[in-house]
Structure 1
Amino acid sequence: MASINFDNALGLHASALQLRAARAEILANNLANADTPGFKSRDINFREVLAGEVEARQSVAVERTHTGHLAGRSQAEQQLLYRNPTQPSIDGNTVDSQIEKAQFAKNSMDYNTTFEFLSSKFKGLRNAVRGE
């Protein structure tokens, strides 16, 4: 009996779900600091980071072999960018609450879509294991 390879079964969707969760944290941090003087709004380019995940899957991965080794930065952390403000404030804060809320809502919908897709994949795998 052959074992199920989850990387093949799920594709990049598991990585996409983790990336969307990381982006939600970044956007929530922006919203939480909307009134902090000098705070610079940050975001990631989802497509670029996901393309980096694809490339990383096709190359030799570097893994921590000892707990004393330093962990590498995630793709999202490596590609964290500053958002260009449409109307900079006097105090140097670049958070535009309306843009951040819109991006957060879109990211939430995308997260839910990816989650539902993965859920249906797991249901299909469960049915396959049961022989249904």
Structure 2
Amino acid sequence: MSAISFQNALSIHPQALLVRAGRSEVLANNLANADTPGFKARDFDFQAVLNGEVEKQRSLEMNTTNNRHIGGRVQEDYDLQYRWPTQPSIDGNTVDDNVENAEFTKNAMAFNASFEFLNRKFNGLTNAIRGE
């Protein structure tokens, strides 16, 4: 009997969740600063970061103090870029509420899809271990 390969079973979804969570923070920061004079909206290319995460493992392993701890990862900063404004305001703020809300919603839906996929995978693996 061979061991279960979680990397094969879970595919890219654990990394996608980490990257989506990071993008949510960036987009929420944009929305929180929608009325801040001179604030520049930022974002990053999800696919490029995810490809870098998978290919280069650009995150750092966390130390564990007990052999029963589950290893974790700390994300490096993403390559944030300024969003090209469709209609910059007079005060220099480049946050467009409609764009940011749409991007935040799309990101949240994709996060939920990956989370649901992982949840179903873990339920299936649990049932397989139990012999159900």
Normalised by the length of structure 2, the TM-score is 0.83
CA distance in 1, matches of 2:60, 2:97: 38
Q: Aligned ranges for residues 1-132 of structure 1 at < 5 Å?
A: 1-57=1-57, 63=61, 74=76, 77-132=77-132
Aligned-pair CA distance for 1:73: 5.8
CA distance in 1, matches of 2:53, 2:105: 24
Which stretches in structure 2 are left out of the alignment for 5+ residues? 64-73
CA distance in 2, matches of 1:104, 1:5: 33
CA distance in 2, matches of 1:130, 1:102: 42
The letter for the 2-side match of 1:5 is S
Identity, in percent, stands at: 59
Aligned-pair CA distance for 1:78: 3.1
The letter for the 2-side match of 1:94 is T
Structure 1 or 2: more helix by fraction: 1
Which stretches in structure 1 are left out of the alignment for 5+ residues? 66-71
SS of the residue corresponding to residue 106 of structure 2 reads: helix
CA distance in 2, matches of 1:98, 1:62: 35
CA distance in 2, matches of 1:73, 1:62: 7
Normalised by the length of structure 1, the TM-score is 0.83
SS of the residue corresponding to residue 43 of structure 2 reads: strand
Aligned-pair CA distance for 1:9: 1.8
Aligned residues: 124
Aligned CA distance change for structure 1 residues 51 and 30 (closer, same or farther; 3 Å): same
CA distance in 2, matches of 1:62, 1:35: 35
SS of the residue corresponding to residue 39 of structure 1 reads: coil
1:48-99 superposed Cα distances (whole Å, 9 cap, x missing partner): 1111112115x9x87577xxxxxx862xx23111101011111111100010
The letter for the 2-side match of 1:116 is E
